[in-house]
């Protein structure tokens, strides 16, 4: 089942997998238009980590 992603509920807790983290970052950037900087600030991580997450999704790592 696909998790519903919300800007107000970012993947900051240990309950999220790397795949969910990556997909959350990708959705916020590509589908909702948030900047990489805004996503990084929201999560308290580096912009590099956000970009890496987005690239993993774009590369099709989680396409099953």
- Position 4 pLDDT exceeds 70: yes
Segment 6-30, tens digit of pLDDT:
888 888 767 889 999 999 999 999 9
* pTM for the full predicted model: 0.85
Residue 1 confidence (pLDDT):
47
Residue 19 confidence (pLDDT):
93
Residue 58 confidence (pLDDT):
96
Structural contact between residues 19 and 3, judged by C-beta atoms closer than 8 angstroms = no
Cα 34 to Cα 10, 27, 38, 42, distances in angstroms = 13, 9, 6, 11
């Amino acid at each position: 089942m696909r998790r519903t992603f919300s800007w107000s509920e970012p993947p900051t807790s240990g309950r999220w997998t790397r795949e969910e983290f990556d997909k959350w970052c990708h959705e916020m950037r590509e589908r909702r238009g948030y900047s990489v900087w805004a996503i990084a600030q929201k999560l308290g991580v580096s912009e590099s980590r956000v970009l890496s997450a987005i690239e993993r999704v774009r590369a099709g790592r989680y396409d099953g």
